Structure 1
Amino acid sequence: MSVSVEDVYEYVHGVCFKKGPPGTVGAETEWFVRDPARPLAPVPVERLRQAMAAPLPGGSRVTFEPGGQLELSSAPMAGPEAACAVLAADLAETRRRLPGLALVGLGVDPDRPSRLQVHDPRYRAMSAYFGDLTMMCSTASVQVCLDIGRDAAEAARRWRLAHLLGPVLVAAFANSPLYRGRRTGHLSTRQAVWSRLDRSRTTAPVGAVPETAWAEYALDARVMVIRRDDGWLGDPGLTFRQWIHAGSPSADDLRYHLTTLFPPVRPQGWLELRMIDELPEPYWRVPVAVVAALLDRAPDAAEHAAAPAAGLWARAARDGVRDPVLGRAAVACFEAAAAHLDGHLKQIVEEYAERYVVRGLCPADDVLKGEHAWTR
């Protein structure tokens, strides 16, 4: 059965923005896998699949990105403390299963060429559509997932706040200043790479009502691929709205189309914040803790702190917290987050802030100085 424009709106309201009280936190960490004995060679993804075939003790889901990046995704947990604890335990088990290999926490692979290792139809279609393997095969992130909100008003505020915080998070956690062995001029090359791709699917939706903004965004995004029984048709040259008017996309086609959209904040029945560079041990925990604390426990302070940096995505990717506006916003955000955390997470957030944020630095500065922990 084909879908209409009205069906798109209904799906977005009922599924993408499914309401519920905040408090649940999930996290996804993506890691480059490197063999220190052959640092410039790719580690075959099949070797990783075999090692990671058995379930992890904490239940984290294991997947592989197109370039062979290993991704661990936690189950939804009650708060950042539980999410980080589960992921930490499963990461420790992952390292135990990969003796002699290193999980490298960076936003961009700094020296190995981009190479497609996962050859399923989706990734072949994506590589043909974008015409560049960098985003797919050479970037990695920490993604933080939080509840939509208990009602429409709270959902709208959380949606707005997640976007307000976006540039601050890019700046504070920038960790990708090198690509192909050279400085790129950006502290978060990952953000720069994503922002220059197809803007109909990688920029932030516009509009005060999040459900409307996301429905219009989905309708106006170009269709990446049409899946047919006789083969996949890549880049058919029309938007999803045009496909509705000219063809007969199904509900399954709509669901798949939504998975090909990559904005900084993606609604999937929860808010998935996608703009943060991957970080090394132990600091991947920090964005999970900071984002959850700000949205769930200190939204007023977060909104006040981040407002001056609204929309500064390009400056965040280029300059990080060296930018004075982003630097002040980041310091205030970290202070607000730490005030609403306890125990180990509070300690590590404050440690990160002292090492980087209050000094106008980010992990990218360690990379540029040759001090990054490549083998962690």
Structure 2
Amino acid sequence: MSIPQSGGGPIEDPRQLAEYLEKGCKPAEAWRIGTEHEKFGYLTDTLEPLPYDGPRSVRAILDGLAAKGWEPIREGEAVIGLKKGKANVSLEPGGQLELSGAALEHLHQTAAEFDSHMAEVRDVADPLGVAFMGIGAAPVWTHDQMPVMPKGRYKLMTAYMGRVGTHGTQMMYRTCTVQANLDFGSEADMVKKLRVSLALQPVATALFASSPFFEGKPNGHRSWRSRIWRGLDDARTGMLPFAFEDGMGFERYVDWVLDVPMYFVYRDGTYIDALGQSFRDFLKGKLPALPGEVPTLSDWADHLTTVFPEARVKQFIEMRGADMGSRDHVLALPAFWTGLTYDQGALDAAWDLVKDLDQATREGLRVASSERALQGEAGGVRLLDLARAALGIAEEGLRARADRGLPDERVFLRPLWDSVGSGRVVADDLLSAYEGEWAGDLSQAYDACRL
């Protein structure tokens, strides 16, 4: 999850909220690709999750990376992240290590960034008897086994989650994702990209499904992580039906975010409890947590990080539907979305592919993707067919980028073509191993998913 935002003076006019998003508009030649991925650390001898402190711990990993040139980010006395250049490393609530990569020109740079990051992590982790795995949900660990990271934001969120849903703490402590962050050129471009992203997010969920186990047994889903998001907090999650309505734009998105209850306000290194309070009241100087004070643009940026739809708008668009996986899958995720959205012909073709899907079908595909991955269907639409068509468009979009002089990035789509060809995804292979060669022994999942 995000580190605290900074910068920006008091909000004096509500129009500044939409203007803040609009500042993300960039000409096509300035569009970049950002990739974020989370991974579970574990002790190789006991297969237990890493504690925060101690000789074999999350803190030891962060300290080791700091010795390699990363600058520590602190909350009080605790190191809770790192930064170097335009990339940062942060901690999810249960100690999942997240790289938020730099904004890069092409996917070969993304591959080099991933390889460099993992080489540094292994250099630190291997001598400690620590490893990391890429999977969408912790296959064995229970909630009581999970460490709690020393971040005030997470303490507040944990207390709130049980009041608004049934699966919130599962998301926080026992899931991992890979995410692509992509730019837009104008308000109209943002709207089309957001609509395509939302409508095809079930395809990404299906293609990258890797979480068929939870608490030591199969859970009945291919992506339990996706199932968790449907039971988290309806006020801040979902497929954003309003995004497909006439009049969609920055202001309409702002209206939705303003209606999402707040978690906190960050002041002087401290998270102030604003759980359930209204950002609209904050704009009027009537926030109970800070009476008489109006928000800054950094408060608005923080609030934008507390909404969790399947695709999220900030000063770029985040594609949020995929489970974490192997190196090949980490690189395939931004390749898929870059191919679909960074060439106008591909984006138009992708919109033509999904524009006639109604809200019920989009939501039905979301459910079906978590349950059956590529074998799911809803409203007469088969996810396998939709994935094959979307992947073909992404392939042509990447071909067009190569024709414009960028290195050919189509190689990164190969694992997705393999899945479409077989109709199987990582979750299917994990279940087959569990039922076959593993003989029900989920301890073998750690090596199988080791990064």
Return the TM-score normalized by structure 2.
Answer: 0.75
Higher mean displacement: 313-322 or 254-263: 254-263
Aligned to 2:60: 47
Q: Which secondary structure does the structure 2 equivalent of 1:110 belong to?
A: coil
Among candidates 411, 429, 433, match of residue 370 of structure 1: 433
In structure 1, which of residues 210, 217, 220 is the aligned counterpart of residue 259 of structure 2? 220
The letter for the 1-side match of 2:59 is: E
8 Å CA contact 2:230–2:238 kept in 1: the answer is: yes
Query: Does 2:357 align with 1:326?
Result: no
Q: Map 1:62-211 to 2 at 5 A.
A: 62-99=89-126, 100-114=129-143, 115-131=146-162, 132-149=168-185, 151-205=186-240, 206-207=242-243, 208=245, 209-211=248-250
1:238 correspondence with 2:277:
yes
CA distance in 2, matches of 1:171, 1:329: 11
Aligned equivalents of 2:22, 2:313: Cα separation in 1 = 5
Residues 238, 323 of structure 1: CA spacing in aligned structure 2 closer, same or farther, 3 A cutoff?
Answer: same
- Deviation for aligned residue 1:90: 2.0
**Distance 1:237-1:146 versus aligned 2 partners, 3 A rule:** closer
Please give the residue correspondences for 1:310-325 in structure 2 after superposition, counting only pairs within 5 Å: 310-311=362-363, 312-324=365-377, 325=382
Give the superposed CA RMSD: 2.7
Q: Secondary structure at the match of 1:241?
A: helix
Classify the secondary structure of the residue corresponding to 1:199. coil
**Cα distance in 1, alignment partners of residues 23 and 103 from structure 2:** 16
In the alignment, structure 2 segments of 5+ residues that lack a partner are 1-8, 52-56, 71-83, 163-167, 288-292, 435-444
- 8 A Cα contact 2:87 2:101, kept in partner: yes
**Amino acid of the residue matched to residue 351 of structure 2?**
E
Residue 31 of structure 1 aligns with which residue? Answer: 39
1:335 is aligned to 392
Is residue 160–residue 275 contact of structure 2 (8 Å, CA) maintained in 1? no
Equivalent position amino acid for 1:117 in 2: V
Deviation at 1:67, TM superposition (A): 0.7
Distance 1:184 1:301 in 2: 36
Identity %: 26
Distance 1:362 1:369 in 2: 11
User: Structure 1 residues 15 and 348 mapped into 2: Cα distance closer, same or farther (>3 Å)?
Assistant: closer
**Conservation of the 8 A alpha-carbon contact between 1:52 and 1:62:** no
CA 1:16–1:259 in 2, change beyond 3 Å: closer, same or farther? farther
In the TM superposition, what are the counterparts of 1:269-348 in structure 2 within 5 Å?
269-297=315-343, 298-307=346-355, 308=357, 310-311=362-363, 312-324=365-377, 325-339=382-396, 340-341=398-399, 345-348=409-412
Change over 3 Å in CA distance of 1:70–1:16 after alignment to 2? farther
Q: In structure 2, what is the Cα distance between the partners aligned to 1:167 and 1:351?
A: 17
CA distance in 2, matches of 1:257, 1:59: 22
Contact 1:186 / 1:319 at 8 angstroms: preserved in 2?
yes
Q: CA deviation at 1:229?
A: 7.9
Q: CA deviation at 1:301?
A: 2.8
Structure 1 residues 364 and 18: CA distance shift in structure 2, 3 A = same
Q: Return the offset for 1:40.
A: 3.0
Q: Deviations over 1:205-240 (max 9, x none)?
A: 323413133211111111223557897553544332
TM-score (structure 1 length as normaliser): 0.89
State the Cα distance separating 1:80 from its structure 2 match: 2.5
Say which SS state the counterpart of residue 284 (structure 1) adopts: helix
2:40, 2:49 within 8 Å by CA — same for their partners in 1? no
Q: How far, CA to CA, are the matches of 1:93 and 1:71 in structure 2?
A: 14
Change (3 A) 1:299 1:129: same
What's 1:361 paired with? Answer: 424
Question: Do the aligned partners of 1:286 and 1:345 also contact (CA within 8 Å) in 2?
Answer: no
Contact 1:60 1:86 in 2 (8 A): no
Which whole-Å deviations, capped at 9, do the CAs of 1:143-172 have from their partners, x for residues lacking one? 1010022x2222221121111221111111
How far apart, in 1, do the equivalents of 2:449 and 2:169 lie? 23
State the Cα distance separating 1:34 from its structure 2 match. Answer: 1.9
Measure how far apart 1:278 and its partner are.
Answer: 0.4
Residues 203 and 332 of structure 1: is their aligned pair in 2 closer, same or farther, counting only changes over 3 Å? Answer: same
Deviates further, 46-55 or 104-113: 46-55
Question: Contact 2:135–2:176 at 8 Å: present in 1 too?
Answer: yes
Helix, strand or coil at the partner of 1:200: coil
Give the C-alpha shift of residue 75 in structure 1.
Answer: 0.7
- 8 Å CA contact 1:294, 1:337 repeated in 2: yes
User: Take 1:345 and 1:89, find their aligned partners in 2: how far apart are those partners?
Assistant: 19
Say if 1:143 and 1:232 are closer, same or farther in 2 by CA, change over 3 A. Answer: closer
Structure 1 residues 353 and 73, CA gap change in structure 2 (3 angstroms): same
The amino acid of 1:112's aligned partner reads W
- The structure-2 alpha-carbon separation of the partners of 1:374 and 1:213, relative to structure 1 and needing over 3 Å to count, comes to same
1:15 Cα deviation (Å)? 3.3
